[in-house]
């Protein structure tokens, strides 16, 4: 039976490239996004790959649990999950010098807690089998101070350390955890499109999502690194 990868938070940039890259390796892909509006185009873009599409808000605990159950019932047992939801329409970031504690809550609730709930749902089965992989996409502000990203930075740091600690804890179990730490705008993605519509007062370099997806596959297959960093900020 083909292995199955669930891509949570799929979009036209990195999520679709991840699905395409793993699909080339024979994986069945299960794509999850908030709405069905682009699912037909995603399936068309993955010609030759068995693809299932689902609409769910993965930041909602009940919807996350339900969509994971549907994927396993319809596509098959999950070998790999990729977590990379990003909302181009999310409220604007606030500088940490102006933000109170409440301003930090939204990034944690939309990034860190859903990631932990995903792991809580799928890790027991992976451990029981002695195989599987947990892949995440995070921001460079979780590793290097980037004041322009303000209230996003603490959540990015928390997600990064969560994954790195998972990686260390899972050694010798057969289950792998790794993260793509991304600094830059991902071409073809929604955030790239929205960001370039207006002047933010600073420049950001771009990254090819296919290159990131190739590295995600390398992390999955070699399992000798916990993190891959992509920094387009230094190039601008």
Asked if 232 and 184 count as a contact pair (C-beta separation under 8 A), the reply is: yes
The verdict on pTM exceeding 0.85 is yes
In Å, how far are 50, 57, 66, 177, 219 from 62, measured between CA atoms? 26, 9, 6, 24, 30
Class of CATH domain 4-235 = alpha beta
Distance CA 47, CA 197 (A): 31
Q: What is the pLDDT of residue 172?
A: 95
Distance CA 142, CA 160 (A): 6
Confidence of residue 70 (pLDDT cuts 50, 70, 90): very high
Q: Over 90: is that where the pLDDT of 116 sits? A: yes
* H helix intervals, the chain: 14-24, 39-45, 61-74, 101-107, 113-129, 152-169, 190-195, 209-222
Q: Region 101-124: what's the mean pLDDT?
A: 93
Q: Region 111-119: what's the mean pLDDT?
A: 96
Distance CA 25, CA 33 (A): 22
């Amino acid at each position: 039976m083909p292995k199955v990868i669930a891509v949570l938070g799929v979009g036209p940039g990195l999520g679709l490239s991840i699905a395409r890259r793993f699909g080339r390796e024979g994986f069945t892909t299960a794509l999850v996004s908030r709405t069905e509006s682009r699912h037909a185009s995603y399936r068309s873009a993955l010609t030759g790959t068995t693809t299932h599409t689902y609409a769910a808000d993965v930041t909602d605990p009940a919807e996350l649990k339900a969509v994971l159950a549907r994927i396993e019932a319809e596509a098959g047992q999950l070998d790999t999950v990729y977590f990379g939801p990003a909302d181009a329409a999310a409220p604007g970031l606030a500088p940490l010098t102006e933000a109170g504690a409440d301003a930090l809550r939204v990034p944690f609730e939309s990034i860190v807690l859903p990631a932990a709930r995903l792991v809580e749902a799928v890790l027991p089965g992976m451990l029981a089998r002695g195989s599987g992989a947990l892949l995440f996409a995070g921001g460079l502000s979780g590793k290097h101070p980037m004041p322009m990203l303000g209230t996003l930075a603490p959540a990015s740091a928390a997600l990064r350390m969560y994954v790195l600690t998972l990686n260390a804890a899972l050694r010798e179990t057969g289950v792998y955890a790794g993260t793509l730490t991304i600094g830059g705008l991902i071409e073809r993605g929604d955030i790239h499109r929205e960001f370039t519509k207006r002047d933010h007062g600073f420049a950001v370099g771009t990254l090819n999502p296919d290159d990131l997806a190739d590295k995600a596959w390398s992390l999955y297959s070699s399992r000798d690194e916990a993190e891959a960093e992509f920094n387009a900020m230094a190039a601008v």
